[in-house]
């Protein structure tokens, strides 16, 4: 498509530009669609299987150019209000601008500058009114302000994803309020808990992630339309204030031609925190699904296969996939931190990094959260197997209760510890053949301090978990405003 006739000099200047020929490797490792390529609007495409349409749509080249035009038109409307541009200029630009990523790429191949290429492309379709675009601005004003809008909007989509995970965990935690299970520390049996509390721990973590992300979104929702080195030398602060209000952003406190990258580092750190929360949940599912444990497993759908060689397999592939993707998202947080120390008022060492990590991190985490909500909702829980695990422990997990009962009876703590440990380890090594309670009753040193009734109280599971409701209800109460919003 050639520029319209009224494009004037810009059309003549670039009429000889042809699409560049570029040799591309087979897989550049981006997401599907046209994403923020460093030059020439290259196709970069992360694996489509880890992408969802709504988030992916934010990061196409078309969407990027649209945001740039929104920023430019918002600034132009502000100049109109201040009497520095004819009324209706911004509406004319917005109405007639033709945004074509391939045309921008053609121009960028010559000028080697993406924003100049964008402005030239707009001039070709808009004509004379475009001369007032970018008045007093610098490239980073457009790039950083539009990036803030994209990260904000991506953050809101991630909040919606988190809400689904929180709702799913809330429902399953209520369901398993009284499903007794063994708690584990260091991977070993510790003391009894409920599976509802296990899920509540994850629930509370995702609630914290939601609030952390909310703070990060607020922190990143700033723009700058302050010109070269951020001094407003060629454009008034009032124009910035008017334009940013339209765009739903606040003004950067001290712009240095770029928005300081500590804001971006905090944003990607919040995403990394969510990824780690997902991985912690996924690791627990993987453990519970092990053949030796078998207390829970991922949903196994009709027609699903677990192994190409072993038909009996049901592998925790969703959880394993989530653990792998978490490493990817956390890696992007490291890159964002490395972008903080820029030279003086600006350099562009951050730019190439952000063209990768902004779409990749948000698209990948969006996929992860969607998968996590499904994992939780479909999780198959074997309460009877959990009860069997408790039975096989032969009551050894009540050792702490007996220890404190001896201390309360006047026995020195370390002495009491040794007495209880003797019977506890014997019960554990017996594989459930010898009940710890019976071993204690036969131990005359213990009977000198605790009678049978006192020992019965030490082995009361309901008494041991008498505060479980309090903890679970506390987690559910914190989650409710998010889950129900």
Residues designated catalytic? 186, 307
Q: Is 188 exposed, middle or buried (0-12, 13-18, 19+ CB in 10 A)?
A: exposed
Whether 316 and 298 have beta carbons less than 8 Å apart is answered as yes
User: Rounded to the nearest 5°, which phi and psi values hold at 455?
Assistant: -70, -35
Q: Is 314 exposed, middle or buried (0-12, 13-18, 19+ CB in 10 A)?
A: middle
Whether 389 and 295 have beta carbons less than 8 Å apart is answered as yes
Which tokens go with 210? 């939601």
> For the chain, how many residues are written?
485
Q: How far apart are CA 452 and CA 469, in angstroms?
A: 29
Residue linked to tokens 């991506």: 154
185: β partners = 188
Q: How far apart are CA 484 and CA 49, in angstroms?
A: 30
Three-state DSSP class for 288?
helix
Whether 132 and 173 have beta carbons less than 8 Å apart is answered as no
3-state secondary structure 331-397: HHHHHHHHCCCCCCCCCCHHHHHHHHHHHHHHHHHHHHHHHHHHHHHHCEECHHHHHHHHHHCCCHH
């Amino acid at each position: 498509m050639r520029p319209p006739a009224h494009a004037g000099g810009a059309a003549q200047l670039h009429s000889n530009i042809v699409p560049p020929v570029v040799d591309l490797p087979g897989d550049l490792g981006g997401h599907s669609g046209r994403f923020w390529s460093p030059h020439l609007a290259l196709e970069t495409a992360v694996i489509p299987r880890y992408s969802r349409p709504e988030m992916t749509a934010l990061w196409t080249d078309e969407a990027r150019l649209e945001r740039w035009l929104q920023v430019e038109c918002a600034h132009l409307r502000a100049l109109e209000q201040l009497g520095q541009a004819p009324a209706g200029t911004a509406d004319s630009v917005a109405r007639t601008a033709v945004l074509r990523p391939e045309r921008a790429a053609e121009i960028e191949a010559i000028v080697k500058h993406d924003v100049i290429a964008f402005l030239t492309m707009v001039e070709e379709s808009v004509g004379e009114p475009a001369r007032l675009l970018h008045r007093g601005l610098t490239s980073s004003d457009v790039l950083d302000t539009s990036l803030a809008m994209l990260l904000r909007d991506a953050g809101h989509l991630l909040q919606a994803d988190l809400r689904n995970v929180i709702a799913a965990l809330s429902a399953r935690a209520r369901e398993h309020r009284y499903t007794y299970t063994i708690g584990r520390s260091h991977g070993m049996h510790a003391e009894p808990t409920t599976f509802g509390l296990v899920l509540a721990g994850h629930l509370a973590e995702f609630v914290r992630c939601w609030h952390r992300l909310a703070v990060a979104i607020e922190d990143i929702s700033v723009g700058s339309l302050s010109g070269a080195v951020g001094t407003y030398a060629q454009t008034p602060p009032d124009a910035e204030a008017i334009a940013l209000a339209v765009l739903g952003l606040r003004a950067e406190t001290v712009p240095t031609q770029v928005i300081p990258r500590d804001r971006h580092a905090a944003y990607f750190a919040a995403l990394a925190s969510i990824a780690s929360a997902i991985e912690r949940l996924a690791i627990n599912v993987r453990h519970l699904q092990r053949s030796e444990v078998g207390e829970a497993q991922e949903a196994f759908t009709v027609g699903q296969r677990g192994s190409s060689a072993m038909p009996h397999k049901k592998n925790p592939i969703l959880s394993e996939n989530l653990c792998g993707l978490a490493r990817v998202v956390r890696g992007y947080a490291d890159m964002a931190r490395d972008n903080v120390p820029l030279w003086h008022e600006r350099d562009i060492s951050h730019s190439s990094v952000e063209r990768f990590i902004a779409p990749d991190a948000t698209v990948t985490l969006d996929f992860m959260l969607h998968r996590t909500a499904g994992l939780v909702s479909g999780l198959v829980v074997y309460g009877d197997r959990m009860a069997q695990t408790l039975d096989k422990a032969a009551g050894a997990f009540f050792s702490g209760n007996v220890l404190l009962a001896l201390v309360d009876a006047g026995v020195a703590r370390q002495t009491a510890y040794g007495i209880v440990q003797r019977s506890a380890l014997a019960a554990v090594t017996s594989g459930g053949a010898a009940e710890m309670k019976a071993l204690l009753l036969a131990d005359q040193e213990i009977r000198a301090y605790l009678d049978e009734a006192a020992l019965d109280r030490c082995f009361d599971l309901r008494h041991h978990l008498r505060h479980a409701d309090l903890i679970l209800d506390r987690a559910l109460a914190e989650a409710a405003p998010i889950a129900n919003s």
